Amino acid sequence: VALKWSLPDPDERGAPLTQSQLRSLWWVGGTFTGLHLLGGILAGSPLVVGTPGWLGFGLLILAYVLLHSLAKGPVLVWAQILVLTSCALMLWHAPLSVADGWRVWFLGACHAALVIPALRGRPMVSIASGWCLFAIIVVTFVVRAPERWSDAGQLALPFVVIPSVAALYAVMLARADRRLRGAQEAEAEARRRLVAAEARQRVVAARITVGAHVEVVLVDRLRVREAVGGQASAELLAVRQREL
């Protein structure tokens, strides 16, 4: 029988997904990103434009690697910074076409990356990242295509809604987890008290049983009016020792 014990990680408490679970589910983010990449290829336009675009593409891949390998603590924040930077670099030279959203496939590919912090117990990081990407899209439209700045809302709104829904989901699961853990701790404490009470009861019963035998011998001695002393005391002590 092999028993392994380790202290619980504080970052794992209240997180819908643990780090090991997220590491084993890397294929979900890979499939989601791959489908958007395929959509960009089928759109017929270049996947990325210029050196900044390829740099942003590399940063996006690096962000996903970090999120699925070291998704804890400051890594979650730095990975979100990489995601936002990659989107800004790829979006700056990309064709701004709301009608053909697959030309900016990388924006849709970021949804999974924005949701991961919420699933790791950091919902505010997901919400903040979504709002930052919303601002990046709006500013890019205002600077590059001011005549179509109103179209930016249609493209940017999902990056506020989806992380917010993920954060709400994570908060609800965290509350349910805390309540369940509290109920389990209360049950464990009740079991501990019950076991302690049963142990005390067994000790008291054993003492009463041992004392009863000694008292019977003493009563028999008094019944026949035999002095309790000397030899009688030695016999009582012997009886006591045998019972113990």
Per residue in 188-218, pLDDT tens?
889 999 998 888 888 887 777 665 555 666 6
Contacts of 100 (CB under 8 A, 6+ apart): 43
pLDDT value, residue 119: 85
Q: State pTM to two decimals.
A: 0.67
Calculate mean pLDDT across residues 73-81.
87
Asked if the model's pLDDT at residue 230 lies above 50, the reply is: no
**Weakest-pLDDT range from 40-54, 57-71, 72-86, 200-214:** 200-214
The percent of residues above 70 in pLDDT, for the chain, comes to 79
pLDDT band at residue 134 under the 50/70/90 scheme: very high
User: What is the C-alpha to C-alpha distance for residues 114 and 134, in angstroms, rounded to an integer?
Assistant: 12
Alpha carbon distances (Å) from 126 to 3, 167, 198, 217, 242: 37, 7, 51, 80, 72
User: Mean pLDDT for the chain?
Assistant: 79
pLDDT at residue 144 is higher than 90: no
Q: What is the pLDDT of residues 148-176, one digit of tens each?
A: 777 777 788 888 898 999 888 888 887 88
* Intra-chain end-to-end CA distance of the chain, in Å: 36
Quote the pLDDT of residue 85: 93
Alpha carbons within 13 A on the beta-carbon side of 181: 9
pLDDT of residue 231: 53
Higher pLDDT among residues 117 and 8, named by residue: 117
Cβ(64)–Cβ(78) below 8 Å: no
pLDDT of residue 241: 56
Question: What is the mean pLDDT of the segment spanning 229-234?
Answer: 52
pLDDT of res. 69: 83
Higher-confidence residue: 4 or 112?
112
Does residue 223 carry a pLDDT above 60?
Answer: no
Mean pLDDT of 57-65: 89
